[in-house]
Structure 1
Amino acid sequence: MDADYSRATDGATERGSDGLTVLGLETSCDETAASVVRLSAAGAEVLSSVIHSQIDEHAAFGGVVPEIAARSHVEMIDGVARRAMAEAGIDYAALDGVAATAGPGLVGGVMVGLSYGKAVALARGLPLIAVNHLEGHAVSARLGAETRYPFLLLLVSGGHCQLLEVRGIGDMSRLGTTIDDAAGEAFDKIAKAMGLGYPGGPALERLAAQSRENGGDGSRFELPRALLGRKDCDFSFSGLKTAASRLAQTCESEQDRADLADAVQKAIARQLSERTERAMLAYAEQHEALHFVVAGGVAANKTIRRTLEDLATKHGFGFLAPPMVYCTDNAAMIALAGAERLEKGLTSDIDVAARPRWPLDEARANADPVHKKTGRKGAKA
């Protein structure tokens, strides 16, 4: 069992006729979020989902400033949580537990949400469930439709890019991961080099759409393809990020910029598709029921979503993705992951610590780390 969880003394918690109702808290980056989710025999029902975005606070800096993010979380967490409870139409007595992101992420922000969750748990006598932020993304597709385990998952966001076999809550194996930058980070850094502002990913997607509308040709830009000699499922986006950022300096017109954005988007979609196809072929050899889920902020990109959906159809996989509102960071996915853990009797001690790094497949990360020098913070995802 994961060292961050203990088995409740009274065993698993039954959903009952009314289900399990959990308050979720998310503060791992630049959104302060709270949500109430009820898990019943009919599936997951989101009773409320409140998100305070810090985009305006970080826009002037071209990216998230950890100190600003942490201070904003301190100011907003109580109001956001109270609003989530009010919109759910319940009081604290109706809760079965409280779940909070405990990592990975910007540790100053993570500590805010986790500390607030501990306070609620202590004050109301509720079980505390410390949730891995990535596990929240892994189950997020279950917020939109009944999604059965096991499934093949592509988790692709601003800070993470992984392929995983998901057999159930807390039971996941890493098939591939990025050896440097994540896809979402590449989107944001290239967009910044092109002067598109923050957040860069959506801005670059809009600019790429302009290229197609104007009959542009992104293929005129040559971008590197990473790790072509390797047959594993790992990713690399640093070379693409550097090359595209340099090309951005040569763009002389708005059409040049739009074409480059189109080329970048297609290059990222291609690499995600190539590595995912390898994972699908290996996964299909071991499973009869073939389900593919894509989750994380980059899953909101329409071109990437369409490319992966076509790939799933080609190989006989059912395609699933969270509703757009649950692709980016939110607390509903944290509440759901917490409810699924609570149902299995997995709760956390009140002294559980915030973690800047927390791989989903910790055994694989420790045995075969992508970054060999893990440092005192532990293995990276």
Structure 2
Amino acid sequence: MLCLGIETSCDETSLALVRDNILVDQVTFSQVDIHSVFGGVVPEMASREHLNRVGVLYNELLDRTRTDPQEIQAIAVTRGPGLLGCLLVGLGFAKGLCLALDIPLVGVNHLHAHLMAPGLEGKIKFPALGLLVSGGHTSIYLINSPLDFQLLGKTLDDAAGEAFDKAAKTLNIPYPGGAHIDRFAGFAEPDQKMFPRPYLDNTNLDFSFSGIKTAVVYHVRDNPRLVLADPEMVDQDFIPPPELATVCASFNWAVAGALKVKLARALARYKVQSVVLAGGVAANTMIRKTLTDLVREQGLEMVMPSLSLCTDNAAMVAWHGSLLIRNGYFHPLDLEAIPRGRKIPMDYHRVN
């Protein structure tokens, strides 16, 4: 089956074609440069940019793959969570194509798609624990199958990626700050007493990163010399001052440590065959190493998508959507977008 995936949940406009278990091709336009001026994503601008790009990228994808629209057998689109205006652009485009081509539509849970992304590159052994670490979400799931996700814990306030970006903004590191913090951290060893590993004085599997974000603000207030004078000097060749590198390494260590403790708790409570680490922050070097070491010590398999599949992309949407459709799940054309903060219902229609 040839499935078209459409992703417009935030600031990436992405379309991909997946045939059965193989990614045919993907085209993506990132709005990072547009929003970097503002230090974060501006929702109205992001929506307009999706509207400007989605049709162009669709034509480019068909041209590059020499695909006739009539060959597309199903369409999968991100229906949430995300920015409502952005989601509506992708959803409207998907509905129009389904109506014109008379093919089924399925709305995909963006978070589930992230966790299934490694399935495009290898096999995921079930049951699995899934740890999703992104700009808007930090969650642990028990995944019994590609169609059965049980939420075990979630972020109560700031997600890990949001904390990275806000810490970077405090230090005047340019957007997107998380990637720069990760690179700067490689120039120093962490001071394990500089920042607390957040929200561990409990027994649950939820996350909270607002506390460490505040700790960075206070630390910078007391050490104003840490703030970069000119963020435009930061490029791939920029070497951070030693003190700034130590702050970044210490922040990295604290976040990775909190994730490790929560994942270790989950592993002690649930019998699984593998662990899936996914989401944009899963590209972070220290987080990948810290959690991989933990999982391998438990004798389990750690499954991570390649770096290109960590960020928002249509390949994961097409892949997860094709799994749903092959199992008889679809949505009617009155499918609604679900913004961040609302639970995504399991409102699939089923063809037996």
TM-score with structure 1 setting the length: 0.84
The separation in 1 between residues aligned to 2:69 and 2:80, in whole angstroms, is 25
Please show how residues 1-381 of structure 1 align to structure 2 within 5 Å.
20-39=1-20, 44-212=21-189, 218-219=190-191, 222-249=194-221, 250-252=223-225, 254-284=241-271, 287=272, 290-357=273-340, 358-359=342-343
Code of the aligned partner of 2:275:
F
Deviation at 1:360? 6.1
Q: 1:248·1:257 contact (CA, 8 Å) conserved in 2?
A: no
Q: Deviations over 1:266-303 (max 9, x none)?
A: 0000000000000011112xx4xx11110000111111
The separation in 2 between residues aligned to 1:152 and 1:256, in whole angstroms, is 37
DSSP-derived class of the 2:132 partner: strand
The separation in 2 between residues aligned to 1:276 and 1:361, in whole angstroms, is 26
Code of the aligned partner of 1:279:
A
Tell me whether 119-128 or 224-233 shows the greater mean CA deviation: 224-233
Q: 2:127·2:143 contact (CA, 8 Å) conserved in 1?
A: yes
Code of the aligned partner of 2:117:
S
Deviation at 1:221? 5.3
Q: 2:3·2:76 contact (CA, 8 Å) conserved in 1?
A: yes
Distance change in 2, residues 1:334/1:73 (3 Å): same
Q: 1:180·1:238 contact (CA, 8 Å) conserved in 2?
A: yes
Deviation at 1:359? 3.8
The separation in 2 between residues aligned to 1:309 and 1:35, in whole angstroms, is 29
The separation in 2 between residues aligned to 1:180 and 1:301, in whole angstroms, is 21
Deviation at 1:29? 0.2
Q: RMSD in angstroms over aligned alpha carbons?
A: 1.6
DSSP-derived class of the 2:282 partner: helix
DSSP-derived class of the 1:230 partner: coil
Identity percentage of aligned residues: 39
Deviation at 1:361? 8.3
Deviation at 1:85? 2.2
Deviation at 1:153? 0.4
Q: 1:221·1:260 contact (CA, 8 Å) conserved in 2?
A: no
Deviation at 1:315? 1.0
Q: 2:338·2:344 contact (CA, 8 Å) conserved in 1?
A: no
Q: Deviations over 1:30-85 (max 9, x none)?
A: 0000000111xxxx211011110001110110000000100000000001122222
The separation in 1 between residues aligned to 2:200 and 2:285, in whole angstroms, is 26
Deviation at 1:169? 3.0
The separation in 2 between residues aligned to 1:323 and 1:82, in whole angstroms, is 26
The separation in 1 between residues aligned to 2:118 and 2:23, in whole angstroms, is 13
Deviation at 1:138? 1.6
The separation in 2 between residues aligned to 1:150 and 1:118, in whole angstroms, is 34
Q: 2:80·2:109 contact (CA, 8 Å) conserved in 1?
A: yes
The separation in 2 between residues aligned to 1:247 and 1:38, in whole angstroms, is 51
Deviation at 1:211? 2.2
Deviation at 1:167? 1.4
DSSP-derived class of the 2:22 partner: strand
The separation in 1 between residues aligned to 2:287 and 2:120, in whole angstroms, is 21
Deviation at 1:362? 7.3
TM-score with structure 2 setting the length: 0.90
Q: Unaligned stretches of 5+ in structure 1?
A: 1-19, 213-217, 364-381
DSSP-derived class of the 1:84 partner: helix
